[in-house]
Structure 1
Amino acid sequence: MRIRQFAWPDYDAVAAVWATAGREVVPRAELAAKLTRDPELFLVAEDGLAVAGVVMGTYDGRRGWILRLAVHPGHRRRGIASALVGELEQRLKALGCPRVNLLVLPDNTAGLRFWQELGYLPMPDVLCTKAMT
């Protein structure tokens, strides 16, 4: 397995991983806007020639965020998710990031367990959101 920065030729394979993993596919335009900020924080894991997993992070100068992590179901239980998170954490640390946040849906008990095993602790914060359309 090899972890590297996302490149545009990866888009279709990354979109397929997101879709197969049951995640919303980030449209090209939205992804292009994200990549103008911190492209080094969008990583793919290759297993052979196939994109097996993907993680997208961002850093606003105060906090790092893990926005999206997905591993193709055919490649799970091989340590790919943990390796992607570990590489992202190293890159965030190199940028001077003091803390990393992420969101887990309340009914995702397996996801919450995964994140807790990596040292992420649940917080009692309340998520507020507003669509800007």
Structure 2
Amino acid sequence: MNDLHIRAAAPEDLDAVLAFWKVAAEGTSISDDRDGVERLVARDPDALIIAEQGGELVGTVIAGFDGWRCHLYRLAVHPEHRRQGVGSALLAAAEERFVRLGGRRGDAMVLQWNETAHHAWRAAGYAPEEHWRRWVKPLTG
């Protein structure tokens, strides 16, 4: 982990990030395309955080802040780099960002069936709130 480098993604990283998510992220999102990720980075250049090791993309997290709540999406670590502290380093960077911005509470989008992710989120101090159910609707322009 000595050569792990955490930074905000730049526009030139976006194709690599999209390819990475196909390997490392569970499930897909309607926003997993070039236009969606470009909009994210254009609106909030520090929201998409990446981890690199030896010049290779090994992890991502989206740390979105809307001025009220802190939202975590797309925490993904390459399968060959899991359980080595990459996810913890990404979450620490996201949480530091939230604190700098004045955020007070983070929430994470986690697939119900992804038990491996549930264990990782619990280990990081997050807990499911059973009384909340997120309802979603894809928006089209």
Q: Does 1:45 align with 2:48?
A: no
Query: Taking structure 1 as the reference length, what is the TM-score of the superposition?
Result: 0.92
Distance in 1 separating the partners of 2:103 and 2:25: 30
SS in 2 for 1:39: coil
Q: CA RMSD in A?
A: 1.4
Distance in 2 separating the partners of 1:35 and 1:43: 10
Of 115, 123, 136 in structure 2, the residue corresponding to residue 129 of structure 1 is: 136
Of 47, 52, 61 in structure 2, the residue corresponding to residue 55 of structure 1 is: 61
SS in 2 for 1:4: strand
Q: Which deviates further from its counterpart, 23-32 or 81-90? A: 23-32
After the TM superposition, list the runs of 4 or more consecutive aligned residues in structure 1 that deviate by more than 3 angstroms.
none
Distance in 1 separating the partners of 2:17 and 2:106: 23
Instruction: Show structure 2 runs of 5+ residues with no match.
Output: none
Q: Which deviates further from its counterpart, 17-26 or 107-116? A: 17-26
How far did residue 63 of structure 1 move? Answer: 0.4
Matched pairs, number: 133
Instruction: Show structure 1 runs of 5+ residues with no match.
Output: none
AA partner of residue 116 (structure 1): R
Query: Taking structure 2 as the reference length, what is the TM-score of the superposition?
Result: 0.87
Distance in 1 separating the partners of 2:74 and 2:63: 7
How far did residue 37 of structure 1 move? Answer: 2.6
How far did residue 56 of structure 1 move? Answer: 0.9
Of 3, 8, 12 in structure 1, the residue corresponding to residue 11 of structure 2 is: 8
Distance in 1 separating the partners of 2:85 and 2:24: 16
AA partner of residue 15 (structure 2): D
Distance 1:44 1:78, change over 3 A: same
Distance in 1 separating the partners of 2:18 and 2:120: 23
